[in-house]
C-alpha cells in the first residue's frame, strides 16, 4: 500500500483515510479505479 497513493486520493477527495485504505486494499494501486470504486460504493458523492 503506497502512502503517496493514499495522500493523492485524499487530497482529491477529502475522504477519511480509513475509507481510502479499505478501497486500496480491495482494488490495488490504480488511482482512477479506486476513485470509481469509492463513487460506486456511495462513499464519494461528487464528481472529481
Q: Is 45 a domain residue?
A: no
Predicted local confidence at residue 48, as pLDDT: 62
Q: Is 29 a domain residue?
A: yes
Contact (CB, 8 A) for 31 and 5: yes
Predicted local confidence at residue 43, as pLDDT: 87
- Looking at the whole model, is its pTM more than 0.75? yes
Contact (CB, 8 A) for 5 and 13: no
Q: Is 24 a domain residue?
A: yes
* 2-33 pLDDT, tens digit each: 999 999 999 999 999 999 999 999 999 999 99
Q: Is 35 a domain residue?
A: yes
Split into its structural domains, the chain has a count of 1
Q: Is 33 a domain residue?
A: yes
Q: Take residue 45 and report the three cell numbers written for it.
A: 458523492
Q: Is 17 a domain residue?
A: yes
**Domain that residue 19 falls in:** 3-40
Q: Which residues contact 1 (CB under 8 A, 6 or more apart)?
A: 21, 24, 25
Residue 46 has pLDDT above 80, yes or no: no
The arithmetic mean of pLDDT across residues 31-40, rounded, is: 95
Amino acid at each position: 500500500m503506497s502512502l503517496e497513493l493514499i495522500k493523492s486520493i485524499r487530497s482529491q477527495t477529502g475522504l477519511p483515510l480509513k475509507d481510502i485504505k479499505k478501497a486500496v486494499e480491495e482494488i490495488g494501486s490504480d488511482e482512477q479505479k479506486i476513485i470509481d470504486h469509492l463513487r460506486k460504493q456511495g462513499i464519494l458523492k461528487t464528481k472529481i
